[in-house]
Copies of this chain bind each other. A is one copy, B any other.
Amino acid sequence: MATRATPSRGYSATKEQLIARLRRIEGQVRGVQKMVDEDRYCIDVVTQISAIEGALEKVALGLLDEHARHCVMTAEDGTREERTEELVSAFGRLLGRS
Protein backbone atom coordinates (compact mmCIF):
# COMPACT_ATOMS: atom_id res chain seq x y z
CA MET A 1 0.00 0.00 0.00
CA ALA A 2 1.60 3.20 -1.18
CA THR A 3 1.51 6.30 0.96
CA ARG A 4 0.18 9.08 -1.17
CA ALA A 5 0.27 12.71 -0.28
CA THR A 6 -3.07 13.47 -1.86
CA PRO A 7 -5.90 11.11 -1.08
CA SER A 8 -8.57 11.11 -3.70
CA ARG A 9 -12.31 10.63 -3.91
CA GLY A 10 -14.36 7.59 -3.03
CA TYR A 11 -13.03 5.09 -0.54
CA SER A 12 -9.34 5.53 -1.24
CA ALA A 13 -7.18 6.62 1.68
CA THR A 14 -3.52 6.91 2.56
CA LYS A 15 -1.87 4.50 4.97
CA GLU A 16 -1.71 7.27 7.57
CA GLN A 17 -5.42 7.94 7.23
CA LEU A 18 -6.25 4.26 7.60
CA ILE A 19 -4.12 3.94 10.75
CA ALA A 20 -5.64 7.12 12.19
CA ARG A 21 -9.14 5.70 11.57
CA LEU A 22 -8.20 2.39 13.16
CA ARG A 23 -6.92 4.23 16.25
CA ARG A 24 -10.22 6.04 16.49
CA ILE A 25 -12.04 2.70 16.14
CA GLU A 26 -9.88 1.22 18.91
CA GLY A 27 -10.95 4.11 21.14
CA GLN A 28 -14.59 3.55 20.22
CA VAL A 29 -14.33 -0.14 21.16
CA ARG A 30 -12.86 0.91 24.53
CA GLY A 31 -15.76 3.33 24.88
CA VAL A 32 -18.24 0.49 24.32
CA GLN A 33 -16.52 -1.56 27.05
CA LYS A 34 -17.01 1.35 29.42
CA MET A 35 -20.65 1.70 28.39
CA VAL A 36 -21.30 -1.99 29.06
CA ASP A 37 -19.43 -1.79 32.36
CA GLU A 38 -21.51 1.20 33.47
CA ASP A 39 -24.75 -0.52 32.43
CA ARG A 40 -25.54 2.17 29.92
CA TYR A 41 -28.78 1.86 28.01
CA CYS A 42 -28.42 -1.12 25.70
CA ILE A 43 -29.88 0.56 22.63
CA ASP A 44 -27.23 3.30 22.86
CA VAL A 45 -24.47 0.68 23.12
CA VAL A 46 -25.77 -1.13 20.03
CA THR A 47 -26.05 2.15 18.12
CA GLN A 48 -22.40 2.79 18.95
CA ILE A 49 -21.47 -0.72 17.76
CA SER A 50 -23.27 -0.02 14.46
CA ALA A 51 -21.16 3.13 14.07
CA ILE A 52 -17.98 1.12 14.68
CA GLU A 53 -19.04 -1.40 12.04
CA GLY A 54 -19.62 1.39 9.54
CA ALA A 55 -16.15 2.79 10.29
CA LEU A 56 -14.52 -0.65 9.97
CA GLU A 57 -16.21 -1.25 6.64
CA LYS A 58 -14.97 2.11 5.41
CA VAL A 59 -11.42 1.05 6.33
CA ALA A 60 -11.93 -2.32 4.60
CA LEU A 61 -13.24 -0.65 1.44
CA GLY A 62 -10.29 1.76 1.53
CA LEU A 63 -7.88 -1.18 1.70
CA LEU A 64 -9.64 -3.05 -1.10
CA ASP A 65 -9.70 0.06 -3.26
CA GLU A 66 -5.94 0.41 -2.82
CA HIS A 67 -5.50 -3.30 -3.40
CA ALA A 68 -7.59 -3.33 -6.58
CA ARG A 69 -5.63 -0.39 -7.95
CA HIS A 70 -2.14 -1.54 -7.11
CA CYS A 71 -2.09 -5.29 -6.73
CA VAL A 72 -4.87 -6.64 -8.91
CA MET A 73 -4.72 -4.34 -11.92
CA THR A 74 -0.99 -4.44 -12.22
CA ALA A 75 -0.74 -8.19 -11.70
CA GLU A 76 0.82 -10.22 -14.47
CA ASP A 77 -1.66 -11.95 -16.73
CA GLY A 78 -1.08 -15.28 -15.04
CA THR A 79 -2.00 -14.15 -11.54
CA ARG A 80 -4.64 -11.55 -12.32
CA GLU A 81 -7.49 -14.06 -12.47
CA GLU A 82 -6.49 -15.49 -9.12
CA ARG A 83 -6.16 -12.03 -7.57
CA THR A 84 -9.61 -11.03 -8.79
CA GLU A 85 -11.11 -14.11 -7.24
CA GLU A 86 -9.35 -13.33 -3.99
CA LEU A 87 -10.70 -9.77 -4.08
CA VAL A 88 -14.30 -10.82 -4.67
CA SER A 89 -14.07 -13.48 -1.98
CA ALA A 90 -12.78 -10.86 0.47
CA PHE A 91 -15.88 -8.76 -0.27
CA GLY A 92 -18.02 -11.84 0.23
CA ARG A 93 -16.56 -12.32 3.69
CA LEU A 94 -17.22 -8.67 4.53
CA LEU A 95 -20.84 -9.26 3.61
CA GLY A 96 -20.81 -12.09 6.09
CA ARG A 97 -21.40 -14.65 3.32
CA SER A 98 -18.38 -16.83 2.83
- Using a CB-CB cutoff of 8 Å, which residues 48-98 of chain A contact chain B? 49-50, 52-54, 56-61, 63-69, 71-73, 80-81, 84-98
Which bracket fits the contact residues of A? 35 or more
Query: Are the CB atoms of B94 and A50 closer together than 8 Å?
Result: yes
Report the copy number of this chain in the oligomer.
4
A89-B11, A94-B50, A94-B95 known; A42 and B64 CB under 8 Å? yes
Bound-state CA distance A48–B93 (Å) is 10
Query: Are the CB atoms of B93 and A96 closer together than 8 Å?
Result: no
List 5 tightest A-B contacts by C-beta distance, closest first.
A96-B96, A42-B67, A50-B93, A65-B88, A10-B85
Q: Which residues of A contact B (CB under 8 A)?
A: 1, 9-12, 15, 18-19, 22-23, 25-26, 29-30, 32-33, 36-37, 39, 42-43, 45-47, 49-50, 52-54, 56-61, 63-69, 71-73, 80-81, 84-98
